[in-house]
Chains A and B, each alone.
Chain A
């Protein structure tokens, strides 16, 4: 790339915002998933939420995304306003619509809102994720890694300051995943990211802060802060050390 086109520049400083979660309580019937949950994600920070399956991570992310309602508590931007319209969401699968071309998938948000799609901008984004030649292809014709690249382009097209990611790369093989992580870290820089994963390596490579969620009802451990620019190399001593620490924290003591 010779230069970054203006539409790919990181979210401008005045648009930046973070997430404030206060006193969140969620129950399924009589089962309390979590209660009195607090978390603040500062603007521009990449925060990774780790936990074993079923601990309530995805439910928490769904509440932040406005897709589920908590029993009580609230989620706002760091300015105290509602989150709606500020977030982009990436799910556990790429969620590309199989009937639409890659380009149409990237601009799907515009069509869903009844706006005119900006094909030129979408093409720029596809170039950026290395899919320019496959703009006309159907998702079914792409590999798993390519599909995640398309999903990243779609997320960037939304121009939202906050990105929520629910184990977005869990379906990829280790090596493809590492490359997509590099790409995501590079392209999402400047945005506020809250990502769920249960891969300690992924967490240590990408997160400014790592938060472990565990127990029933679930609680959040104090955040682990890592230094250095992201994405960190997999063999970075701090990455390796923190990975070990996370394994100890997350591995159940009783036999599984």
Chain B
């Protein structure tokens, strides 16, 4: 890539962001929408600055919920994926449960989970885990099942034990699929945490948004939303970078040339 191309590559998201903010600003200027419906970018930036301490600690709370949910959900998903592939018994008993856990919308479960696990971060973590472990389980199980038959056969002719085949062939072969599940999980994990905070909490970005909404402080709500979006994007980028490093051997066919 040329220097100019690389510069453009780095600057492009910035141009998009500036463009969107300008459009937003133009709409607030031209239309007669009152500020409590749609605040202009300037007042949101001001709210962001005035409420920086509150927003920082709220973000910290929500991030903790999301991160712990992501870690626990991924581990649980990996375990369920392995179990469904290697034990027909587990597949028969676990799979209907997994599907059931997804059939009930997490929105509907939220009040119950808050009742059971309290107003603290535990109920939010449980919610995030519920949202993300299924895509991880499904993607991982799929990857494990699709391991190349020939590669497994080759290992068997080399007198590999079943565990060695799992460790040296099936697991690495399933990693790209597992990675896809993890990317989805990273993008949707905040949903679980925010829903949990809306239903009942005393901290977090969802709590800030709910309070600001009640007080018609729409600019603060927008500021919280902005921080939430930023956090989700950064989380996704971090997971994506990590996966690219772990999956160094997977060809990126989307790259030109």
Interface flag for A98 (CB, 8 Å): yes
Asked whether A65 lies within 8 Å of B164 as measured between CB atoms, the reply is no
Asked whether B150 lies within 8 Å of A93 as measured between CB atoms, the reply is yes
Asked whether A112 lies within 8 Å of B168 as measured between CB atoms, the reply is yes
**Contact partner of A112 among B153, B164, B172, B249, CB < 8 A?**
B164
Asked whether B156 lies within 8 Å of A66 as measured between CB atoms, the reply is yes
Asked whether A99 lies within 8 Å of B154 as measured between CB atoms, the reply is no
Complex Cα spacing A186 to B81, Å: 46
Interface flag for A114 (CB, 8 Å): yes
Interface string of B144-155 (1 = CB under 8 A from A): 000010110111
Asked whether B148 lies within 8 Å of A95 as measured between CB atoms, the reply is yes
Complex Cα spacing A84 to B169, Å: 20
Interface flag for B159 (CB, 8 Å): yes
Complex Cα spacing A99 to B246, Å: 10
Interface flag for A88 (CB, 8 Å): yes
**Contact partner of B150 among A66, A91, A113, CB < 8 A?**
A91
Q: In whole Å, how far is B253's beta carbon from the nearest beta carbon of chain A?
A: 11
Complex Cα spacing A112 to B150, Å: 15
Minimum CB distance partner of B148 in chain A = A95
Residues of A within 8 A of B159 (CB): 84-85, 109, 112-113
Interface positions, chain B 149-200, Cβ under 8 Å from A, are 150-151, 153-161, 164-165, 168-169, 172, 175
Asked whether B164 lies within 8 Å of A114 as measured between CB atoms, the reply is yes
Residues of B within 8 A of A111 (CB): 164, 168
Complex Cα spacing A97 to B155, Å: 10
Asked whether A112 lies within 8 Å of B151 as measured between CB atoms, the reply is no
Minimum CB distance partner of A84 in chain B = B159
Complex Cα spacing A91 to B172, Å: 20
Minimum CB distance partner of A92 in chain B = B150
Asked whether B150 lies within 8 Å of A65 as measured between CB atoms, the reply is no
Asked whether B249 lies within 8 Å of A98 as measured between CB atoms, the reply is yes
Asked whether B169 lies within 8 Å of A65 as measured between CB atoms, the reply is no
Q: In whole Å, how far is A164's beta carbon from the nearest beta carbon of chain B?
A: 8
Assess A66 versus B157: contact at CB under 8 Å? Given A92-B150, A95-B148, A98-B249: yes
Q: In whole Å, how far is B157's beta carbon from the nearest beta carbon of chain A?
A: 4
For chain A, what secondary structure do more than half of its interface residues adopt (helix, strand, loop), or is it mixed? loop
Asked whether B164 lies within 8 Å of A67 as measured between CB atoms, the reply is no
Residues of A within 8 A of B150 (CB): 91-93, 95
Interface flag for A210 (CB, 8 Å): no
Asked whether B249 lies within 8 Å of A140 as measured between CB atoms, the reply is yes
Interface flag for B251 (CB, 8 Å): yes
Assess A108 versus B157: contact at CB under 8 Å? Given A99-B172, A99-B249, A140-B251: no
Asked whether A91 lies within 8 Å of B154 as measured between CB atoms, the reply is yes
For chain B, what secondary structure do more than half of its interface residues adopt (helix, strand, loop), or is it mixed? helix
**Contact partner of B160 among A66, A112, A140, A164, CB < 8 A?**
A112
Asked whether A97 lies within 8 Å of B164 as measured between CB atoms, the reply is no
Residues of A within 8 A of B156 (CB): 66-67
Interface positions, chain A 138-171, Cβ under 8 Å from B, are 138, 140, 158, 164
Asked whether A113 lies within 8 Å of B158 as measured between CB atoms, the reply is yes
Asked whether A65 lies within 8 Å of B153 as measured between CB atoms, the reply is yes
Interface flag for A46 (CB, 8 Å): no
Interface-centre pick from B151, B169, B250 (highest chain A CB count, 10 A): B151
Interface flag for A34 (CB, 8 Å): no
Complex Cα spacing A189 to B101, Å: 60
Interface flag for A239 (CB, 8 Å): no
Asked whether A67 lies within 8 Å of B151 as measured between CB atoms, the reply is no
Interface positions, chain B 113-163, Cβ under 8 Å from A, are 148, 150-151, 153-161
Asked whether B153 lies within 8 Å of A91 as measured between CB atoms, the reply is yes
Residues of B within 8 A of A112 (CB): 155, 158-160, 164-165, 168
Minimum CB distance partner of B246 in chain A = A99
Interface positions, chain A 78-94, Cβ under 8 Å from B, are 84-85, 87-89, 91-93
Assess A97 versus B158: contact at CB under 8 Å? Given A108-B168, A111-B168: no
Minimum CB distance partner of A164 in chain B = B157
Assess A89 versus B251: contact at CB under 8 Å? Given A99-B172, A113-B164: no
| A-B contact list, 10 entries, CB within 8 Å | A65-B157, A89-B153, A95-B148, A95-B151, A97-B168, A99-B249, A108-B158, A112-B155, A112-B160, A114-B161
Query: When A and B form their complex, which 10 residue pairs have the shortest distance between CB atoms, in order from nearest?
Result: A112-B160, A109-B158, A89-B157, A99-B249, A91-B150, A99-B172, A112-B164, A95-B154, A95-B150, A112-B158
Q: Which residues of chain A have a CB within 8 Å of any CB of chain B?
A: 62, 65-67, 84-85, 87-89, 91-93, 95, 97-99, 108-109, 111-114, 138, 140, 158, 164
